[in-house]
Amino acid sequence: MDIAVLGATGDVGRQVCTQLIERRVLPPTSRLQLVGRRGGASGRATYGLRADLIDAYDEHAPLIDVALDPADVVADVVVVAAGMTTPAAPGGSIDRSQLAAANHGVVAEYARALAEHGSGHEVVVVVSNPVELGVAVLARELGRHRVIGMGAWLDTLRFRREVAVSLGLRRHRIGGFVAGQHGTDLVPLWSTVRVSGLDAGERRAAVDGLRTGRSLGTFDAEVAAAQRELLDLDVASAYARVDALPADLRAVIRPWLTHTSGAKTATGTAGATVDLLETVLDGREIVVAGQVQLAGEVVVGGRRLTGVLGAPVVLGPDGWTRVLLDDLAADEAERLLACADRIHASLAPWEARA
Ligand SMILES: NC(=O)c1ccc[n+]([C@@H]2O[C@H](COP(=O)([O-])OP(=O)(O)OC[C@H]3O[C@@H](n4cnc5c(N)ncnc54)[C@H](O)[C@@H]3O)[C@@H](O)[C@H]2O)c1
């Protein structure tokens, strides 16, 4: 299996390439295609990145080549990590509609090229933000089951880690998923949390202890209040303050602080992306979470969901198959429906465009 990384020289793209090789997800007989933009700074740097990766990993590196034209992208799995991101500085933010305006053209160009020149079987993992827009654009061109956004898996890993920290455990002992929109509009599905070694009663007690009576009805207000408070603190005090927040809020606020600290979240983002790539390449079907284009196959709160939404899905070598959103708690269903509406509204201006 071969992998192409669009935006390979960016912070996330470079980490994806490095981790793919470090974690030996790609054997030496596979091909890693580094995709940059002809004429842009990434055009020259893509050749340099190829040389640097071979320098570092010659013993077990896959075959590495460079493509600078969307028509030349050839791979079984394509990672979309090209495009602009929000400024990585305190208070530095552009809203998602500005990010959409900047990145729609980039994603649409590759979507058209893959539809025209691709094999018809590529699986595409979308990293570029807004993830939901990337999924919508690519799913329309390639078919919805071949396209998955990795934001919900990253949010899921963050949520599991924060739950694990609160329980004094390591992340691998925690199950459970995050749904919704990537970023501050996520939906932590507390009802899906599992803790290895605990039976149902013990788990309920543990989860109730972590939630301390809070419901998701106040989540947005809590996120906004935490962000306001942290902006007034120096970064060390801000991280200390984050540690005192409830686990689900920490899953949102800690990465936000990390991005605005200037460090960005490239390593964690790439780690979650490579998890999904490993799953696709593995050949087995595994439940992950991802942003996918729904077509009415799931009913939440009596409503058939359509449009892009982050959800637990079964992912395999040909893309995602089933969505698993059964038996949500009332506050989860309510927040998920509101979130679906917000995504729908944010994507509406782009629906008519190619
Ligand atoms: N989904 C997530 O969880 C998540 C997390 C972090 C970042 N992101 C998103 O991933 C994207 C990349 O983030 P980053 O921090 O690596 O940004 P970055 O600015 O470091 O890198 C972006 C790269 O894309 C390249 N690029 C731009 N247009 C291109 C084109 N047409 N063809 C090929 N390459 C092109 C740039 O040259 C640059 O190398 C952003 O949209 C960001 O918001 C998503």
Tell me if 255 CB under 6 Å of ligand 1. Answer: no
The rounded Å distance from CA 35 to ligand 1 centre is 12
Question: Are 282 and 318 members of one domain?
Answer: yes
- Over range 40-48, report the average pLDDT: 93
Structure tokens given for 149: 């956004």
Question: Are 316 and 205 members of one domain?
Answer: yes
Nearest-angstrom CA–CA distance, 289 and 178: 7
Question: Are 134 and 237 members of one domain?
Answer: no
- Over range 216-239, report the average pLDDT: 97
Report the CATH number that the domain containing residue 85 is assigned in CATH. Answer: 3.40.50.720
Q: Which of 125, 151, 177 is the last residue of a domain?
A: 151
Tell me if 264 CB under 6 Å of ligand 1. Answer: yes
Q: Which of 120, 151, 182 is the last residue of a domain?
A: 151
SS3 of residue 40 by DSSP: coil
Q: Which of 151, 178, 212 is the last residue of a domain?
A: 151
Examine the pLDDT at 54 and tell me if it is beyond 70.
Answer: yes
Question: Are 308 and 192 members of one domain?
Answer: yes
Tell me if 36 CB under 6 Å of ligand 1. Answer: yes
Question: Are 161 and 142 members of one domain?
Answer: no
pLDDT at res. 96: 79
The CA-based angle 6-95-90, given to 5 degrees, is 90
Are 198 and 208 spatial neighbours (Cβ–Cβ below 8 Å)?
Answer: no
Examine the pLDDT at 16 and tell me if it is beyond 80.
Answer: yes
Relative orientation angle of helices 330-351 and 96-117, to the nearest 10 degrees:
70
Per-residue HEC secondary structure of 318-352 comes to CEEEEECCCCCCHHHHHHHHHHHHHHHHHHHHHHC
The rounded Å distance from CA 318 to ligand 1 centre is 25
pLDDT at res. 352: 74
The number of folded domains in the chain is: 2
Split at pLDDT 50, 70, 90, the class of 89 is: confident
Question: Are 104 and 178 members of one domain?
Answer: no
Question: Are 94 and 241 members of one domain?
Answer: no
Question: Are 98 and 220 members of one domain?
Answer: no
Question: Are 144 and 178 members of one domain?
Answer: no
H or E element, residue 102: helix 96-117
The rounded Å distance from CA 303 to ligand 1 centre is 35
Average pLDDT, the chain: 96
What phi and psi values does residue 295 have, to the nearest 5 degrees?
-135, 40
Domain range for 7 is: 3-151
Question: Are 324 and 200 members of one domain?
Answer: yes
Peptide bond into 246 cis (omega under 30): no
Examine the pLDDT at 354 and tell me if it is beyond 60.
Answer: no
Q: How far is CA 304 from the centre of its chain?
A: 24
CB atoms within 10 A of CB 352: 6
Torsion of Cα atoms, 151 then 154 then 156 then 160, to 10°:
-160
- Over range 99-128, report the average pLDDT: 97
CA-nearest residue, atom 27 of ligand 1: 83
Tell me if 296 CB under 6 Å of ligand 1. Answer: no
The rounded Å distance from CA 9 to ligand 1 centre is 9
Tell me if 323 CB under 6 Å of ligand 1. Answer: no
Q: Of the residues 269, 273, 276, 277, which should be mutated to test ligand 1's pocket, given the most ligand atoms within 8 Å of the CB?
A: 269
Question: Are 303 and 286 members of one domain?
Answer: yes
Structure tokens given for 350: 């782009």
Question: Are 37 and 156 members of one domain?
Answer: no
Nearest-angstrom CA–CA distance, 338 and 352: 23
pLDDT at res. 94: 63
Report the CATH number that the domain containing residue 273 is assigned in CATH. Answer: 3.90.110.10
